[in-house]
């Protein structure tokens, strides 16, 4: 037993020695492997460092090329997105400290403390991205951004990021911090054709960069993060001002300026200091609409520096005609208390935007001229009614279906009040057909029609046809048919285009073709023509909206919804308190929508309905534009007649023929004669319901 114990102890002792030996050898091997991998990694980094572009070439680069935006013919340049041509290089002394500290606060708080790369910022961004399961937050220093702008693309790859880090380090070794910041401020794009802080100062504030105040510098520093989104002339001014305030707060937090100076800058009315956009530009609302589409597709760098040629869908003559007609309508608009108007015109066969005027005057701040009302949700009034009638026709109702126009209580509307709609003329018209009700824009029958079609079914149809709003369906009740939900002028015009295009949908298109700097085509538009509505239903809407005789009892014979010598379909809309006035109308070749009102929703004067303020603009534009197209009638729909009406008509004809023949004829023969005169295809006969 003693021997056994001694043997075991010896074994354990030897085992411990062996384990120690193994551990030592493993550690030695691991250390060698680590050193080897480290050497390899170091070699790779050294090689990458050597092969990385030389920082000294910053001043010898190929300059970015200007991107040009054309009309559809390519004969009119409507906008230039400049590269070097619109950049003014400043010396160190010409760049004010205000833009330096604002840029550091906005882009790189540790700029003067790192060596080109801020690893702590990278770790913070990595942590935040992991927490949010996204890659939204970056950590590029000013030097890295300069390296990327000078030598690299913006592709999100590890290889590109490593190259960016290495080049940034090389730049830091070659230049001082002040030199790097100077190059950055002279190179960075600020949008609206402004490259570099001098061009930006002149573009947005009409002054030299050295004259910039801290509040102005903070606003400029806010723009480069997303030049189109934060453009002072775009649709997101509130977002720009919010970011400017955040940068001022960051300046105070970093103690880059004293608190009194920061506080004073925060109280400045910065929005009033922005001067009207005066660069050469045609169709400004359309241009910025196109630019946003381009940035979604290519990113800002590609369109700002890629030398692209953008051939848009814009019909230059129609655009100028629309702008001129709206300007000429100013007196009539003011007469009715309206300060603004917008117009959109499309080709229904392919969805191409031929004209887009987002406001009466893009450069007039007093009417929020920079806001593109064509893409903003507004209440459409009765111009929404055709969607409800189309939904009813999908359920089997017909233009000939009779409906009772009398005072009707539709019950509580959700506010505790009872919903009792009134007609525009204050009268009730008894039994009318759906054709008459829609043509005369009677409200009570429209609400009944929506009730029959169903609110959800009507919203579903509207979405199918191109309406992108009305997404919170719980908000809407029977008042929806009278314009109780907000839609965009561009969307509703595109929706009417489905009626014009025999039930086929084409989403709005603004770009025909794009070529790169070498002339190679990289994008071409195609028509979708997706069937979304039964052609028979589209034709029924066409027939009703083009039936001028049916609308005469309300609109009169000389209304602005008809054009002499042309076959057009049209519908007006007016919201409660006269806040919005609409007219949307079309032919098989052209569809145009017009909105009139005030951007702040201030009511117009009483009587400012669509037929008086929007329809004249629509009529004048369409009258001129339709000269470019042949007059083409709408395709007639196949009627589904009331069986009882047919029988009554035949009975009346039989009696007539018997009396007028002067001699006795058989009922069978009189019936044949009557049926020939009635001229109705019996195979389409079905009962039509009289709705009360």
CB < 8 Å & 24+ apart, contacts of 557-562: 559/611, 559/615, 560/611, 560/615, 560/616, 560/618, 560/619, 561/585, 561/611, 561/615, 561/619
Distances (CA, A) of 679 to 231, 658, 673, 685: 64, 19, 10, 12
Quote the distance between the C-alpha of residue 227 and its chain's center.
Answer: 17
Strand partners, 357: 343
What is the CA angle 94-97-102, rounded to 5? 125
* DSSP structural state of residue 577: G
Residue 474 bears catalytic tag: no
d(CA 465, CA 496): 8
199, 231, 382, 510: the catalytic one is 382
Q: How many CB atoms lie within 10 A of CB 415?
A: 7
Question: Do 595 and 341 meet the contact criterion of CB atoms below 8 Å apart?
Answer: yes
Give 29-76 as a 3 state SS string. HHHHHHHHHHHHHHHHHHHHHHHCCCHHHHHHCCCCECEEEECCCCCC
107, 164, 172, 198: the catalytic one is 107
Question: Do 493 and 387 meet the contact criterion of CB atoms below 8 Å apart?
Answer: no
Residue 107 bears catalytic tag: yes
d(CA 631, CA 626): 8
Quote the distance between the C-alpha of residue 284 and its chain's center.
Answer: 14
For 586, list phi and psi in degrees, rounded to 5. Answer: -160, 165
Instruction: List residues with catalytic annotation.
Output: 107, 382
């Amino acid at each position: 037993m003693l021997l056994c114990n001694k043997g075991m102890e010896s074994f354990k002792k030897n085992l411990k020695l062996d384990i120690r030996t193994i551990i030592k050898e493993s550690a030695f091997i691991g250390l060698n492997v680590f050193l080897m991998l480290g050497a390899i990694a170091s070699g790779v980094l050294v090689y990458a460092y050597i092969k990385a572009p030389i920082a000294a070439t910053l001043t010898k680069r190929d300059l970015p090329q200007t991107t040009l935006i054309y009309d559809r013919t390519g004969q009119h340049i409507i906008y230039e997105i400049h590269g070097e041509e619109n950049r003014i290089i400043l010396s160190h002394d010409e760049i004010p400290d205000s833009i330096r500290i604002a840029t550091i606060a906005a882009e790189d708080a540790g700029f003067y403390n790192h060596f080109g790369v801020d690893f702590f910022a990278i770790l913070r961004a990595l942590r935040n991205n992991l927490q949010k399961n996204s890659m939204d937050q970056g950590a590029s220093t000013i030097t890295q951004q300069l390296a990327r702008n000078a030598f690299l693309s913006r592709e999100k790859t590890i290889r590109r990021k490593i190259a960016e880090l290495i080049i940034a380090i090389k730049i830091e070794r070659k230049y001082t911090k002040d030199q790097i910041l100077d190059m950055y401020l002279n190179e960075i794009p600020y949008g609206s054709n402004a490259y570099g802080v001098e061009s930006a100062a002149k573009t947005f504030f009409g002054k030299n960069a050295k004259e910039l105040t801290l509040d102005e510098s903070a606003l400029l520093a806010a723009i480069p993060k997303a030049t189109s989104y934060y453009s002072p002339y775009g649709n997101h001014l509130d977002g720009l001002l919010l970011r400017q305030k955040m940068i001022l707060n960051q300046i105070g937090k970093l103690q880059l300026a004293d608190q009194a100076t920061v506080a004073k800058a925060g109280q400045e009315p910065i929005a009033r200091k922005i001067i009207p956009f005066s660069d050469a530009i045609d169709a400004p609302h359309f241009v910025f609409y196109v630019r946003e589409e381009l940035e979604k597709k290519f990113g800002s760098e590609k369109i700002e520096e890629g030398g692209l040629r953008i051939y848009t869908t814009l019909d230059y003559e129609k655009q100028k005609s629309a702008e001129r007609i709206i300007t000429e309508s100013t007196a009539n608009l003011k007469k009715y208390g309206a300060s603004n108007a917008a117009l959109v015109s499309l080709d229904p066969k392919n969805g191409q935007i031929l004209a887009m005027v987002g406001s009466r005057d893009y450069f007039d701040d007093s009417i929020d001229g920079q806001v593109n009302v064509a893409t903003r949700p507004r209440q459409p009034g009765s111009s929404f009614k055709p969607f409800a009638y189309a939904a009813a026709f999908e359920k089997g109702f017909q233009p000939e279906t009779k409906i009772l126009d009398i005072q009707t209580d539709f019950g509580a509307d959700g506010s505790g009040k009872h919903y009792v709609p009134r007609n525009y003329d204050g009268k009730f018209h008894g039994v009318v057909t759906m054709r008459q009700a829609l043509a005369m824009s009677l409200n009570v029958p429209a609400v009944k029609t929506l009730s029959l079609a169903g609110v959800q079914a009507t919203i579903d149809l509207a979405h199918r046809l191109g309406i992108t709003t009305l997404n919170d369906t719980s908000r809407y009740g029977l008042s929806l048919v009278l314009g109780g939900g907000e839609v965009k002028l561009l969307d509703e015009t595109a929706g009417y285009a489905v009626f014009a295009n025999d039930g086929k949908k084409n989403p709005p298109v603004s770009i025909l073709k794009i070529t790169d700097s070498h002339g190679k085509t990289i994008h071409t538009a195609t028509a979708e023509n997706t069937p979304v509505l039964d052609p028979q239903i589209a034709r029924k809407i066409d027939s009703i909206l083009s039936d001028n005789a049916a609308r005469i009892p309300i609109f009169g014979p000389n209304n602005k919804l008809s054009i002499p010598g042309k076959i057009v379909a049209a519908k007006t809309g007016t919201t409660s308190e006269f806040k919005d006035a609409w007219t949307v109308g079309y032919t098989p070749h052209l569809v145009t929508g017009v909105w009139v009102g005030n951007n702040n929703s201030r009511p117009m004067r009483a009587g400012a309905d669509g037929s008086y303020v929007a329809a004249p603009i629509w009529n004048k534009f369409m009258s001129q534009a339709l000269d470019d197209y042949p007059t083409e009638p709408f395709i007639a729909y196949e009627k589904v007649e009331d069986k009882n009406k047919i029988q009554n008509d035949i009975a009346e004809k039989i009696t007539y023929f018997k009396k007028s023949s002067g001699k006795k004829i058989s009922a069978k023969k009189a019936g044949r004669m009557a049926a020939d005169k009635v001229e109705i295809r019996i195979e389409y006969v079905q009962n039509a319901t009289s709705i009360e």
